[in-house]
A and B are shown apart, each in its own frame.
Chain A
Amino acid sequence: MTTAAPIAPLAARATGGRRYRQVLWLLTARDLRVRYSTSALGYLWSILDPLVMAAIYWFVFTQVFERSVGEEPYIVFLLAGLLPWMWFNGAVGDSTRAFLKEAKLVRSTKIPRTIWVNRLVLSKGLEFLFSLPVIAAFAIFGGAQLTWGIALLPLAILLQAMLTAGVGLLIAPLVVFFRDLERAAKLVLRFLFYASPIIYSARDLPEGLHAWAAFNPLAGIFALYRSAFFLEELDWYLIGIGAAVSVAMLAVGLLVFRRTERSVLKEI
């Protein structure tokens, strides 16, 4: 048995932002590793899900019905909304269980608590990035033209990350107290899928609804994504209001999270 080493100098320990990133990365890597070590298809699952969904909508709206919404080629238009939606949907859906699922770990380590939500935003965000080659492939085969709008991709990702984190930070602590919210959130998400311009474009909405649609921040965010292929989707009114709502959502989420942290730690 060796004698104990002298106390490590405190400066050697990562603190603050670096420590936050280290732990965030560890937990994200853990999630991906668990997923890949327990399933044979691994990575394929993260693109199979949106692909099947896209195939269904493509079939319904181009083969069965006479389509009057969206852009040409429809499959590219659809995926440009569907893939980011999967990110939002997955991260918000999982954050309803952010504390409950990791209760033992939350109770035994003092890492900054926002990590429990942010790691979900990050790991679903990475899956989203991994699935981007699917759009690229369809764009090449479908003959969609890339525009300068692709330069707006980082802005779209940033806004969506802020919005998703905000909603997650708001909902995660609330679910600990009101378990019903877990199912309510699933219902709201399903409603939101059709209420957001995913299978259609915000431009297809009747004039009276368009002004209101802007207050769904996803409308502006999806418009940014789609402008990479369809510049006519670039609607700065939608994007401006969407950005403002996203920032506000993040502020509200952080505020609620901070106020409820104490109670949540006692409850789990």
Chain B
Amino acid sequence: MTSTVDSTGSTDRAGRAGGQDPVIEVAGAGIRFRRNRRGRRTFKDLFGARSRRLRPDQFWALRDVTFRVAPGEAIGVVGRNGQGKSTLLKLVAEVVLPDEGRVDVKAGVAPLIEITGGFVDDLTVRENVYLTAGLHGMSRREIDDRFDEIIAFAEIGDFLETPYKHLSSGMKVRLAFSVISRLEEPVLLVDEVLAVGDRAFREKCYARIEELLAGGRTLFFVSHSEKDLRRFCRRGLYLDRGRLVLDGPIEDVLERYGRDSGTR
């Protein structure tokens, strides 16, 4: 399946990003992966130039994706599993690079992707907060100012000097969300990280996201939950087989997605 042309590939984004300079600009972006990730590696894989050629064992996870996001927009990404949602999020987070086209993100990003990734088992909660927030670009003074807020939000005040590895998995996610959501970056990327954690904390996270949106942040949200998507997002991107099939108001996108997957 190299180039399945979707007849309804027309996209609707009239006037949406108009007026302001876009904060995220994705132009003709494509990325390909190896089908068999355990297969033998060659030097060709390694030095893979940015060509449009596809070798037989590769597939395009995303291709010809183009859209612009204005500051303050809240965008939901929908699509079935394996259609490129998370890959798109990683491209916007700039933790993977496109093989063709370009991805331009003009503001700082707070990525809620693999949020527990930066935490070190042997260090204490306090040390980990300074480390992770610092890696994401916060200065020491900024962290000092927000430290109490971060700990209060994570409800982890009694464990400041506990090594991270002794926390429960729920606590780990709470701490991680708390740190990343305090980064004060203009762009917030949320993958389905919030599936963990109890209901009360999830509600708290959602309240925090709404608060950030009210503060003018740009949100990029990947979820399977129509309820959550409707709650946060005004605009939707529908991905199918690595193509951006529809870009429009979230209602239209959900309606189309529901129709395609036959659940409604």
| Interface pair B118/A13, CB less than 8 Å apart | no
Task: Determine how close the nearest CB of chain B comes to the CB of A108; give it in whole angstroms.
Answer: 4
- Chain A residue nearest to B48 (CB atoms) is A263
Whole-angstrom CA separation of A2 from B181 in the bound complex: 13
| Interface pair A105/B48, CB less than 8 Å apart | no
Tell me the residues in window 77-122 of chain B with beta carbons closer than 8 Å to chain A beta carbons: 90, 93-97, 99, 107-109, 111, 113-118, 120, 122
Complex interface bits, A19-38 against B, C-beta within 8 A gives 1, otherwise 0: 10011001100100110011
Q: Say which one of A73-81, A171-179, A195-203 lies at the interface with B.
A: A171-179
Task: Determine how close the nearest CB of chain A comes to the CB of B169; give it in whole angstroms.
Answer: 15
Whole-angstrom CA separation of A131 from B94 in the bound complex: 39
Contact surface of B with A, Cβ cutoff 8 Å: 31, 33, 37, 41, 45-48, 50, 90, 93-97, 99, 107-109, 111, 113-118, 120, 122-123, 127, 131, 134-137, 139, 149, 184-186, 207, 211-212, 214-217
| Interface pair A33/B123, CB less than 8 Å apart | yes
Chain A interface residue count, CB cutoff 8 Å, equals: 41
Looking at A19, A107, A108, A109, which has the most chain B CB atoms within 10 Å of its CB? A108
Whole-angstrom CA separation of A166 from B41 in the bound complex: 23
| Interface pair B216/A7, CB less than 8 Å apart | yes
A interface secondary structure, majority? helix
Number of A-B contacts (CB under 8 A): 109
| Interface pair B47/A259, CB less than 8 Å apart | yes
Whole-angstrom CA separation of A19 from B108 in the bound complex: 13
Task: Determine how close the nearest CB of chain B comes to the CB of A178; give it in whole angstroms.
Answer: 6
| Interface pair B117/A104, CB less than 8 Å apart | yes
Say yes or no: is A188 at the interface (Cβ < 8 Å to chain B): no
Whole-angstrom CA separation of A108 from B114 in the bound complex: 6
Task: Determine how close the nearest CB of chain A comes to the CB of B121; give it in whole angstroms.
Answer: 9
Whole-angstrom CA separation of A151 from B65 in the bound complex: 57
- Chain B residue nearest to A104 (CB atoms) is B117
Residues A34 and B122 in contact in the complex (CB < 8 Å), given A108-B95, A265-B97: yes
Say yes or no: is A187 at the interface (Cβ < 8 Å to chain B): no
Whole-angstrom CA separation of A1 from B115 in the bound complex: 23
Whole-angstrom CA separation of A260 from B50 in the bound complex: 11
Task: Determine how close the nearest CB of chain B comes to the CB of A69; give it in whole angstroms.
Answer: 41
Contact of A108 among B45, B47, B118 (CB under 8 A): B118
Whole-angstrom CA separation of A261 from B49 in the bound complex: 11
Say yes or no: is A209 at the interface (Cβ < 8 Å to chain B): no
Residues A7 and B115 in contact in the complex (CB < 8 Å), given A13-B108, A261-B97: no
Task: Give every chain A residue within 8 A of B33 (Cβ-Cβ).
Answer: 266
Say yes or no: is A56 at the interface (Cβ < 8 Å to chain B): no
Whole-angstrom CA separation of A263 from B48 in the bound complex: 7
| Interface pair A108/B113, CB less than 8 Å apart | yes
13 further contact pairs, Cβ within 8 A, besides A1-B211, A14-B137, A108-B117: A3-B211, A3-B214, A5-B184, A8-B184, A10-B108, A23-B134, A26-B131, A109-B95, A109-B136, A110-B93, A111-B135, A262-B96, A266-B31
| Interface pair A174/B46, CB less than 8 Å apart | yes
| Interface pair B135/A109, CB less than 8 Å apart | yes
Say yes or no: is A4 at the interface (Cβ < 8 Å to chain B): yes
Residues A107 and B117 in contact in the complex (CB < 8 Å), given A4-B211, A10-B108, A22-B134: yes
Whole-angstrom CA separation of A102 from B185 in the bound complex: 24
